[in-house]
Amino acid sequence: MPMLNAKRFRLREETIALETFGRKQLTTQVPAGSVVTVSGPTSEDGRMVDVYWGGHKMVMFADDIQKRGEQVADASN
- Parallel, antiparallel, or unpaired: how do β-strands 15-21 and 24-30 relate? antiparallel
- Which residue in 8, 69, 5 sits closest to 33, CA to CA? 69
Q: Residue 77's pLDDT band (boundaries 50, 70, 90)?
A: very low
Q: Is 72 exposed, middle or buried (0-12, 13-18, 19+ CB in 10 A)?
A: middle
User: CA 26, CA 71: separation in Å to the nearest integer?
Assistant: 26
Chain mean position to CA 2: 14
Chain mean position to CA 13: 13
Convert the pLDDT of each residue in 43-65 to its tens digit: 788 799 999 999 999 999 999 99
The more confidently predicted of residues 19 and 4 is 19
Q: Which CATH class is domain 8-72?
A: mainly beta
Of the chain, the percentage scoring pLDDT greater than 70 comes to: 91
